[in-house]
Structure 1
Amino acid sequence: MLVMSPTKATVQGTFGTFVDSTGWDNPTAVTQLGLLMPIWVFWGYDASAHLSEETLDSSSTPARSIVIALAASQILGYAFVLILNFTVSDIDAVLQCRFNQPLVCAFEQGTGGSKSATMFLTIWMIFQFIWNIQTALNGASRALYAWARDGAIPKFFHWVHPETKQPLRTVWFFTFVGCVLLLANFGSSVAVSAFSAFSTIGMNVAYAIPTICKLIWARDTFKQSAFNLGRLSIPINIISVFWMFYVVAILCMPQVMPVNGQTLNYSPIMLGGVTILITIYWFAGARKWFTGPKMHITLEEAQELEKLKLDEDAKKASELGVSA
């Protein structure tokens, strides 16, 4: 896009121009809303943790993957945003995109109107969405499987296919839920926006709860994994909690003013409703049978299984090397 764009914004125009299309007429509020895009991008950190039982060296591999993913996302994401800002010259045309997809019109402007280049970038963007959905599906299905295994939800979901070794019931459950939520897009874009914002709010609340519990009740007893933050753990935990509450506050703000039935942010209402349902579920019976994660194998058994897996992988690698 930097090569094909016929006109490019100046550094002053990119970093010094303030555009408010929200109706807030408040630079401070608009600046906070400008954080929505990176907030929506940087979530799902726990996906690697949910897959930790399917990896080797699970005490450090998931944590390393989180760090690598975040670093790559920051570098590539910032580069992508800079390219868009330098190559998009008509913001109003992008916001009023005839394809109803502003990013497609941004690609069109950035490539000088090239249909083939715009199509290529759009297809690339679609594949990015598909990969993101796959990542979310993997993490969510494993989380639901773990909940069923520990007795928080019906045991029906605690099942692994004997051939694929995948929790297919939870995979298909979330596939169905995703399709149902997608149908809302045909009826109301407001509903889709609410679901998107609420998912991010829910994730941040879910991240904050165990972090707060660690800071308050388990600061001295928390067992560190092989990959840990050392002395920086506590200050980073404190900063992260404040950041997550700040993020939740931003996600609960109306994105457009004035507020009406079409612009109201329904996320706080959904968050309150889900919180009430979970509270009822807990006091109605879950507190009697759910005691938290359960240990299903001993540490020695886990180490032995990991050793066997390493030996098996080494054997396969050796066989491939011989056959090559």
Structure 2
Amino acid sequence: MFSTPKWRCFLSWIVGYANTISNVASVASVDWACAVQIMAAVSIGSDLSFQPTTAQTYGLFCALLISHGLINSVTPRVIARLQLLFFVVNVLLCAAVIISLPAATPKELRNDAKFALGGFVNLSGWSDGFAFVISFLMPLWTMGCFDAPVHISEEATNASTAVPYAIIFTTCSGLILGWGINVALAFCMGKDLQGILDSPVGQPMATILLNSLGKIGALMIWCFIILVQYAIGAGSVTTCSRQVFAFCRDGGLPLSRWVYHVNRRVYAPVRAVWFSVMLCMMLGALTFAGPSAINAVFSLVVTGQYFAYSIPISARFLGGKELKKGPVSFGRLSLPIAAIAVTWMTVMSIIIMFPENPNPGVSDMNYTVVVQGGVLFLATAYYFLPKYGGMYWFKGPVLTVTREDVSSDLLEAREKSEMEAPSPAKSD
């Protein structure tokens, strides 16, 4: 909408691939984290005698993906109702963690305000200043997929206001609840941070809960954490499948003609769901290459999203096109917000490609730049491929509904409702 005709199709192509791979990586990383959390619960339940192998965790990861594929193969109304339930459970879980940790943590593990709010512990090997910047990487992954409501806008009523308000509400609520949880953790985790990281449980959060709440209490809270993580995975598959479906509608992905299909029984893009699941399984298989490879999948969520977000935000102000404001607008604040956002995303996309320590070996290297760069390189090569490339046939997002179509559909629905409505006498 905003770019000049010369660059419009190519930028749409690149954004489509960046957003697709980031959504696939998001599902893979969420479900991998869920699999690790389940294994941590089993480890706690067995008094740390059980230590899962990579193959066992990957098998559980695939089972989670399949279950999420099945959930997303039913009517979207069921998914919408489940999301409401998961939202309530998520808020209650956050409240439970914020309340239970201060109440149950032993005195020797409680930290004072000086340590919790002003203490600085650097375990990275980098300088303190750069270690502080590196510490932003975890919340970058946690607070992500801001565009998730956009992908289901075609299935939402009053999308022009519901979608932007959903983005604003979820971001603000995540900020508040996330801050509250981090404050509770900082006051109740003790000072032995290295011991928490090296715990055989394999999950620092689970270790903190185990130390503060004991085995039974930790398992109770942890089970709800797994449930919420599972719910996030189900929602991520919904978002990812809609992105894949939309890009296949434009003809951008391989097998687009087969994937672009709506199941007439459930009115959902079932093929896009299972296509997404298969891509996630393939991406998750990188775990057999070592921890650095699976960490690259986590980082790919951020770099892919930020790349896909930065281009349209920049084009909005650099493309020279007039914008007709919608019902939700920041007005004069739009430009400074956009400038800060693009600057932030550019800087953090570079930072997230750094390794965890300044002198990495082959196994400790950060391979995000390889995966992200490889995807964008192949996408660009595919676009400019002589004779068969996207530059010869890709026209950008396909317009399937016009204002005239919407008007005629609304008129038809209104006439139908008036014909079926009871007369005043009968309604009385």
| TM-score with structure 2 setting the length | 0.69
Tell me the amino acid that sits aligned with residue 102 of structure 1: P
Assess if the C-alpha contact under 8 Å between 2:290 and 2:363 holds in 1. Answer: no
Q: Match for residue 375 of structure 2?
A: 274
CA distance 1:4–1:286, shift in 2 (3 Å) = same
Tell me the amino acid that sits aligned with residue 63 of structure 1: P
Q: Match for residue 240 of structure 2?
A: 140
Tell me the amino acid that sits aligned with residue 103 of structure 2: V
CA distance 1:13–1:280, shift in 2 (3 Å) = same
Match of 1:301 among 389, 394, 405: 405
Tell me the amino acid that sits aligned with residue 394 of structure 2: F
Q: Aligned partners of 1:110, 1:306: CA distance in 2, in Å?
A: 57
Tell me the amino acid that sits aligned with residue 403 of structure 2: L
Q: Match for residue 119 of structure 1?
A: 219
When structure 1 is superposed on structure 2, of 201-210 and 99-108 the one drifting more is 99-108
Following superposition of structure 1 onto structure 2, how do residues 175-254 of structure 1 map, counting pairs within 5 Å?
A: 175-218=277-320, 220-254=321-355
For residues 213-264 of structure 1, the C-alpha deviation after alignment (integer angstroms, 9 at most, x for no partner) is: 112114x412332222222112211111101101102211112232111221
Determine what percentage of the aligned residue pairs are the same residue: 25
Match of 2:276 among 174, 185, 188: 174
When structure 1 is superposed on structure 2, of 123-132 and 299-308 the one drifting more is 299-308
Output the aligned Cα RMSD: 2.1
Q: Aligned partners of 2:257, 2:287: CA distance in 1, in Å?
A: 32
Assess if the C-alpha contact under 8 Å between 2:153 and 2:163 holds in 1. Answer: yes
Residue 228 (structure 2) pairs with residue 128 (structure 1):
yes
Q: Match for residue 321 of structure 1?
A: none
Tell me the amino acid that sits aligned with residue 103 of structure 1: M
How many residue pairs were aligned? 310
Q: Which has the higher contact order (CA 8 A, sep 6+)?
A: 2
Q: Match for residue 322 of structure 1?
A: none
Tell me the amino acid that sits aligned with residue 295 of structure 1: L
Assess if the C-alpha contact under 8 Å between 1:254 and 1:264 holds in 2. Answer: yes
CA distance 1:232–1:175, shift in 2 (3 Å) = same
Match of 2:264 among 158, 162, 170: 162
Deviation at 1:178, TM superposition (A): 2.0
CA distance 1:310–1:93, shift in 2 (3 Å) = farther
Assess if the C-alpha contact under 8 Å between 1:150 and 1:292 holds in 2. Answer: yes
When structure 1 is superposed on structure 2, of 83-92 and 186-195 the one drifting more is 186-195
For residues 163-200 of structure 1, the C-alpha deviation after alignment (integer angstroms, 9 at most, x for no partner) is: 11110111111112223333433552211101111221
Assess if the C-alpha contact under 8 Å between 2:244 and 2:276 holds in 1. Answer: no
Q: Match for residue 149 of structure 1?
A: 249
Assess if the C-alpha contact under 8 Å between 2:355 and 2:364 holds in 1. Answer: yes
Q: Aligned partners of 1:186, 1:289: CA distance in 2, in Å?
A: 38
Q: Match for residue 23 of structure 1?
A: 125
Q: Match for residue 201 of structure 2?
A: 99
SS of equivalent to 1:3 = helix
Deviation at 1:53, TM superposition (A): 0.2
Which segments of 5 or more consecutive residues in structure 1 lack a partner in the other structure?
319-324
Q: Aligned partners of 2:123, 2:128: CA distance in 1, in Å?
A: 11
Deviation at 1:39, TM superposition (A): 0.7
Tell me the amino acid that sits aligned with residue 288 of structure 1: Y
